[in-house]
Amino acid sequence: MTARASRRFPTAALLALCAALAAAPAPAASRPAGARGAGPSPETDFQAKDRAAAPDRKEPWHLLGAPAEDTAAAQLARARRFEAEGRRSAARKAYDSLVHNWGASPEAAEAQLAVARLFEADGDREEAFREYQYYVERYAATSPVPGTTYESVVAAQFALANALRAELGGGPLSPSAEMVASMYRHVVANAPDAPRAPEAVLAEGACYESDGAWAKAVNAYERLPSKYPGSALVADARYRAAACRYRLAKRYPNDEATLRNALETLRLALRTSPSHAGAAEARDRAAELAARQSRMAFDRAAFYDRVRRDADASILAYEQFLEHFPNAAESERARARLAQIRASKAEAR
CA 237, CA 241: separation in Å to the nearest integer? 6
Per-residue pLDDT at 107 exceeds 90: yes
Tell me which of 147 and 6 has the higher pLDDT.
147
Provide the b/e sequence for 143-174 (b: ≥16 CB within 10 Å): bbbeebeeeebbebbbebbbebbeebeeeeee
Domains of the chain: total:
1
For residue 295, being part of any structural domain is answered with yes
For residue 313, being part of any structural domain is answered with yes
For residue 317, being part of any structural domain is answered with yes
What's the pLDDT band for 40 if we cut at 50, 70, 90? Answer: low
Long-range contacts of 332-337 (CB under 8 A, 24+ apart): 333/298, 334/298, 334/301, 337/305
For residue 301, being part of any structural domain is answered with yes
User: Residue 333: what residue type?
Assistant: R
For residue 20, being part of any structural domain is answered with no
The Cα diameter of the chain in Å comes to 104
For residue 299, being part of any structural domain is answered with yes
What pLDDT does 278 receive?
97
Of 18-32, 91-105, 243-257, the least confident: 18-32
CA 214, CA 42: separation in Å to the nearest integer? 9
| pLDDT, tens digit (0-9, with 9 covering 90-100), for 265-322 | 999 999 999 999 999 999 999 999 999 988 887 777 777 768 777 778 878 877 777 7
Determine the distance from the C-alpha atom of residue 75 to the mean position of all C-alpha atoms in its chain, rounded to a whole number: 43
What pLDDT does 345 receive?
76
| pLDDT, tens digit (0-9, with 9 covering 90-100), for 139-175 | 999 999 999 999 999 999 999 999 999 999 888 889 9
| pLDDT, tens digit (0-9, with 9 covering 90-100), for 109-148 | 999 999 999 999 999 999 999 999 999 999 999 999 999 9
| pLDDT, tens digit (0-9, with 9 covering 90-100), for 210-227 | 999 999 999 999 999 999
Determine the distance from the C-alpha atom of residue 20 to the mean position of all C-alpha atoms in its chain, rounded to a whole number: 36
Contact 195, 164 (CB under 8 A): no
- Structural domain of residue 311, as residue ranges? 290-349
What's the pLDDT band for 335 if we cut at 50, 70, 90? Answer: confident
For residue 308, being part of any structural domain is answered with yes
What's the pLDDT band for 26 if we cut at 50, 70, 90? Answer: very low
Q: What is the mean pLDDT of residues 95-99?
A: 97
Tell me which of 313 and 98 has the higher pLDDT.
98
Per-residue pLDDT at 33 exceeds 50: no
What pLDDT does 16 receive?
41
Report how far apart, in Å, the C-alpha atoms of 86 and of each of 80, 99, 118, 119, 289 are: 10, 21, 11, 14, 61
SS (H, E, C) the chain: CCHHHHHHCCHHHHHHHHHHHHHCCCCHHHCCCCHHHCCCCCCCCCCCCCCCCCCCCCCCCCHHHCCCCCCHHHHHHHHHHHHHCCCHHHHHHHHHHHHHHCCCCCCHHHHHHHHHHHHHHCCCHHHHHHHHHHHHHHCCCCCCCCCCCHHHHHHHHHHHHHHHHCCCCCCCCCCCHHHHHHHHHHHHHHCCCCCCHHHHHHHHHHHHHHCCCHHHHHHHHHHHHHHCCCCCCHHHHHHHHHHHHHHHHHHCCCCHHHHHHHHHHHHHHHHHCCCCCCHHHHHHHHHHHHHHHHHHHHHHHHHHHHHCCCHHHHHHHHHHHHHHCCCCCCHHHHHHHHHHHHHHHHHHC
What's the pLDDT band for 332 if we cut at 50, 70, 90? Answer: confident
For residue 339, being part of any structural domain is answered with yes
